[in-house]
């Protein structure tokens, strides 16, 4: 079990082979067993295999080829639409048009997604999370006909792997753990925690190819820039509002 | 593996027995293998076992007894503090004082939390998520000395179970799945999807004890009310801002 988790690798090349229906069902059932706030299950999973839909999702996800290659794209949404409709049919007055409810649905959806990821990998499938879901939530909402009170929060690409990458490096155990209370980092601890990552051959190549001085600059200047983050922050907050989670109903 | 996931139950009564250090280490290592945006690992885990700290956390978590009973309380945080400190030491100009970065860190932290939950259960431990983390984030931040650029997003209670509850009911598979695109619910589908839940003896008792007409009213009038949700929304947005994720630095 834990072996399975320990061997997780994001897969970015997929075979065209379909995922059998009974395996997909088993994986989703595993997802549904995840903890959920008050057992409200305030999430939905949209499973897209249609070629035209996948082409539009491919554009939303920055044209990453795996979105076209893999047979299934799973979009995980914070969903209060189902619950609110139920309340309205049961003489109950729902108060879920607010940020806390959005975040509650997002937590629900993300725990389900991780169960799905683990169950998929234990069935020999490969997965990759798409962070682009929040960047282009508006386009995804249009493509997948997502109604009010529903916001996509993450996406899993799912299929049989056509590559076998090595494990990705991680920061040392001690760098992400705090005992009893948070112990802030000194310059010395930061240096020691990032040393291994910075000394990888892979890192050195990356710095050279990108003509940068440090690995951190690759993140701040190329991969996750201030301008992009600010633009996507505004867009995502706008989506959360438009979908009815900022008391604007 | 999937069997393990399928048998998940939230545990609310714990033995006082400690969790051996090597098991805790194994569980956290499993957490760290979870996917993380750009391999930035923008999360931290605060592991609290000190009696005084736990007493304060118990207050923050609405005085739920399991917080005192269980040997370990794990607070999962979206954390850009470590990453930003690293950028600043490496001539890189970080742009992570925005909502997208907070949400990215939250996704990271929640995927780690679910890995930890599954690894814990596969080692015979019990877990329970505490949704109260976002409600009382401010008090948790003070208690755990959490610095700027860090926001607690969920908490796991961890220890050896002192109860063996049955599986919790879930909505039918078809109610949370949408094929290709979102298919909105009709009153008829809502009725059929909630029928089983509404007909449980447990539900009928709950309605009687609470003197309500419907199960939905227990959610809207008692458990997750509009007033509470709006108050906690404001408080949580204020925390996100105060911790430096709304371009206010």
- Share the mean pLDDT of chain B: 97
In a domain, B210, yes or no: no
- The secondary structure of residue A206, as a DSSP letter, is H
| Chain-chain contact of B95 with A33 (C-beta, under 8 angstroms) | no
CA angle A97-B233-A104, nearest 5°? 70
Question: Is there a domain that residue B149 lies in?
Answer: yes
Closest CB from B26, B48, B147 relative to A184: B147
Tell me the average pLDDT across B148-163: 98
Query: Do the chains contact at B87 and A216, CB–CB below 8 Å?
Result: yes
Of the candidates A194, A41, A1, the one whose C-alpha atom is nearest the C-alpha of residue B116 is A1
Please answer yes or no on whether A98 and B37 come within 8 Å at the CB atom. no
Can you give the pTM of this predicted structure? 0.98
Q: Which residues of A touch B83 (CB under 8 A)?
A: 219
Alpha-carbon gap, residue B198 to A22, rounded angstroms: 28
Q: How far apart are CA B94 and CA B84, in angstroms?
A: 6
Average pLDDT over residues B220-230: 97
Token output for A88: 């309205």
Run of H or E residues at A3? helix A2-6
Q: Search chain A and give the residue with CA nearest B131.
A: A37
Place of tokens 């209670």: B157
In the sheet that A126-129 helps form, which strands lie side by side, from edge to edge?
A126-129, A150-159, A72-79, A43-48, B177-179
Chosen for mutation from B33, B93, B196, B206 (greatest number of chain A CBs closer than 10 Å) is: B33
A99-122 helix and B99-122 helix, angle to the nearest 10 degrees: 50
Tokens of B8: 């998940």
| The token pair that represents B62 in the structure block | 């609405």
CB pairs under 8 A between A and B: 349
- Are B100 and A232 in contact (CB < 8 Å)? yes
What is residue A61's DSSP assignment? T
- Looking at the domain assignment, is residue B93 inside a domain? yes
Taking the C-alpha atoms of B103, B108, B113 and B118 in order, what is their torsion angle to the nearest 10 degrees?
130
Locate tokens 């690798």: which residue? A9
What tokens were used for B181? 């695109």
Question: What letter does residue A51 receive in the DSSP assignment?
Answer: H
d(C-alpha A225, C-alpha A218), whole Å: 9
Domains contained in chain A, number: 1
Q: What mean pLDDT comes out for the span B172-197?
A: 97
List the domain range (segments joined by +) for residue A88.
Answer: 2-165
Question: Could you tell me which residues come within 8 angstroms of residue B236 by beta carbon, excluding any fewer than 6 positions away?
Answer: A99, A100, A103, B134, B135, B137
Listed residue (B19, B12, B26, B145) closest to B75, CA to CA: B145
CA distance A18 to A160: 8
**Tokens linked to B141:** 């931040």
Reported as a single tens digit per residue, the pLDDT across B1-13 is 688 899 999 999 9
Contact present, A79 and A150 (Cβ < 8 Å): yes
- B106 backbone dihedrals φ, ψ, rounded to 5°: -65, -45
- Per the domain annotation, does A225 fall within a domain? no
CATH code for the domain of A151 = 3.40.109.10
Three-class secondary structure of residue B38 per DSSP: helix
Q: How many CB atoms lie within 10 A of CB A186?
A: 10
The reply to whether B223 falls in a domain is no
A13 touches chain B (CB under 8 A): no
The shortest CB-CB distance from A115 to any of B5, B180, B216 is to: B5
Tell me if A90 is assigned to some domain: yes
Q: What is the pLDDT of residues B15-39, one digit of tens each?
A: 999 999 999 999 999 999 999 999 9
A10 touches chain B (CB under 8 A): yes
Looking at residue A7, what DSSP letter applies? T
Contact across the interface for B229 and A180, Cβ inside 8 Å: no
Q: How far off is chain B from A145, nearest CA to CA, in Å? A: 6
Q: What is the pLDDT of residue B155?
A: 98
Q: What is the pLDDT along chain A (249 residues), one digit of tens a residue?
A: 688 899 999 999 999 999 999 999 999 999 999 999 999 999 999 999 999 999 999 999 999 999 999 999 999 999 999 999 999 999 999 999 999 999 999 999 999 999 999 999 999 999 999 999 999 999 999 999 999 999 999 999 999 999 999 999 999 999 999 999 999 999 999 999 999 999 999 999 999 999 999 999 999 999 999 999 999 999 999 999 999 999 864
**Residue labelled with tokens 């990705």:** A168
Give pLDDT, residue A248.
63
Please tell me the distance in Å from A132's CA to the nearest CA on chain B: 10
Contact A73, A157 (CB under 8 A): yes
Both tokens of residue A225? 């820039």
> CA B2, CA A118: separation in Å to the nearest integer?
8
Mark which residues 41-80 of A lie under 8 Å from B by CB: 41, 43-50, 53, 77, 79
Rounded Cα distance, A121 and B34, in Å: 12
Beta bridge partners of B73: B48, B157
Place of tokens 């695109």: B181
Taking residue B242's Cβ as centre, other Cβ atoms within 10 Å add up to 15
Cross-chain CB nearest to B93 (options A111, A135, A220): A220
Residue B105: inside a domain: yes
> Torsion-angle region of residue A227: left (phi > 0), alpha (psi -120 to 50) or beta?
alpha
List the structure tokens of B142.
Answer: 């003070």
In a domain, B225, yes or no: no
Q: How far apart are CA B185 and CA B244, in angstroms?
A: 39
CA distance A241 to A149: 9
Nearest-CA distance B5 → chain A (Å): 6
The pLDDT, as a whole number, for residue B1 is 60
Q: Do A85 and B10 touch (CB under 8 A)?
A: no
* Chain A residues in contact with B226 (beta carbon < 8 A): 93-95
Neighboring chain B residues of A53 at a CB cutoff of 8 Å? 180-181
Cβ distance B214 to A173 less than 8 Å, yes or no, reads no
Average pLDDT over every residue of B206-212:
97
Q: Do A33 and B144 touch (CB under 8 A)?
A: no
Question: Which residue of chain B has the CA closest to A29?
Answer: B173
**Which residues on adjacent β-strands are paired with residue A126?**
A159
Give how far Cα B37 sits from Cα of A13, A128, A177, B91, Å.
18, 11, 19, 22
Q: To which residue do tokens 């990271």 refer?
A: B108
A209 reaches B (C-beta below 8 A): no
Of A4, A86, A247, Cβ closest to residue B216: A86
Burial bucket for residue B207 (CB in 10 Å: 0-12, 13-18, 19+): middle
């Amino acid at each position: 079990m834990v072996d399975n988790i320990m061997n997780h690798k994001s897969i970015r090349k997929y075979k065209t082979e379909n995922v059998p229906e009974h395996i997909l069902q088993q994986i989703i059932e595993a997802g549904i067993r995840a903890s959920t706030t008050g057992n409200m299950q305030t999430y939905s999973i949209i499973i897209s295999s249609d070629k035209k839909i996948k082409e539009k999702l491919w554009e939303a996800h920055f044209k990453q080829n795996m979105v076209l290659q893999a047979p299934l794209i799973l979009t995980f949404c914070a969903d209060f639409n189902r619950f609110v409709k139920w309340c309205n049919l049961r003489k109950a007055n729902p108060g879920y048009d607010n940020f806390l409810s959005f975040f509650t649905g997002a937590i629900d959806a993300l725990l389900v997604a991780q169960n799905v990821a683990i169950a998929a990998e234990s069935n020999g499938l490969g997965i990759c999370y798409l962070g682009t879901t929040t960047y282009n939530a508006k386009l995804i909402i249009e493509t997948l006909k997502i109604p009010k009170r529903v916001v996509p929060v993450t996406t899993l690409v799912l299929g049989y792997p056509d590559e076998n990458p090595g494990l990705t490096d991680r920061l040392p155990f001690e760098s992400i753990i705090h005992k009893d209370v948070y112990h802030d980092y000194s310059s010395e601890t930061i240096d020691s925690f990032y040393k291994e990552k910075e000394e990888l051959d892979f890192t050195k190549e990356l710095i050279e190819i990108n003509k940068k001085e440090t690995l951190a600059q690759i993140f701040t200047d190329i991969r996750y820039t201030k301008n992009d983050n600010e633009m996507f922050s505004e867009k995502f907050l706008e989506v959360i509002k438009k979908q009815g989670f900022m008391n604007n109903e």
